[in-house]
Amino acid sequence: MREIVFDTETTGLNPASGDRIVEIGCIEIFNRVETGRHFHSYFNPERDMPGEAEAVHGLSATFLSDKPLFADQALDLIEFIGDSPLVAHNASFDFGFLNHELGRCGHAAICLTRMRDTLALARTKHPGAKHSLDALCVRFGIDRSHRVKHGALLDAQLLAQVYVELTGGRQIGLGLVAEAVAATVAAGELVTGDAAREPLAPRPHSASGPELERHRDFLTRLTKPLWERFAALS
């Protein structure tokens, strides 16, 4: 199944009061495996950048002044997203901004039934714990050392790894990762990185002759082994 993990950076917290998206990053995953395809863009918000927002993501009004408007990139974004489910952390926030921007330039809103919220997933799986993206990266051992400030593409990449862990890890259900990758390739999807490696041959797990001999020798040196009690009762 194709899904899109995405994140946004904004000028504030409320699109209804004039706040705008200034960056979006989208990562494509197929059967929980990153394909290497992504969409990323900065946007000119056509307004000032509040200091508290700039402190979070580091994007100044000067930096954004020559970037395209959201309306200029909307069709490319819609094409990339397609009809896939969309995964975000605290997804109602990102969906609210995304649908507000789409509405401003005359495009249909994305149905909320396509929303997958990793914050809600984390609260269900780990109640009482911290559920920020940083905290979840620590929980799952995901390297975030290069995350100095918030950035939509970087955060989407980290969230994609978190989402995989929240939904069962690299092996989903009873199928093997290699089978999922093979299905991805058969479907004509792009697979890169670790997912494209050939599966390793299974390692032998049977004990060798010398190992069995050492084990028998070890058993002869045990005094009053526990299993003798049960043998006497049978």
DSSP for 18-66, please give it: T--EEEEEEEEEETTEEEEEEEEEE---SS---HHHHHHH---HHHHTT
Residues 32, 162: Cα–Cα separation, whole Å: 11
For residue 231, give the 3-state DSSP assignment: helix
| Residue whose token pair is 């954004």 | 64
CA 146, 126, 26, 32 torsion-angle sign: positive
Catalytic residue among 38, 57, 89, 150: 150
User: Looking at residue 206, what is its pLDDT?
Assistant: 75
User: Looking at residue 234, what is its pLDDT?
Assistant: 58
Report the CATH architecture of 2-196.
2-Layer Sandwich (3.30)
User: Looking at residue 191, what is its pLDDT?
Assistant: 44
User: Looking at residue 190, what is its pLDDT?
Assistant: 47
Per-residue pLDDT of the chain (234 residues; tens, 9 = 90+): 999 999 999 999 999 999 999 999 999 999 999 999 999 999 999 999 999 999 999 999 999 999 999 999 999 999 999 999 999 999 999 999 999 999 999 999 999 999 999 999 999 999 999 999 999 999 999 998 877 678 899 999 999 999 999 998 764 444 454 555 455 555 554 444 444 456 666 666 677 888 888 888 888 888 877 777 766 665
* Whether 150 is catalytic: yes
Instruction: Give me the residues paired with residue 117 across strands.
Output: 88
Residues 209, 12: Cα–Cα separation, whole Å: 69
CB 38 within 8 A of CB 132: no
Q: What is the pTM of this model?
A: 0.71
DSSP for 98-140, please give it: HHHHHHHTTPPPPPGGGEEEHHHHHHHHSTTS--SHHHHHHHT
User: Looking at residue 93, what is its pLDDT?
Assistant: 97
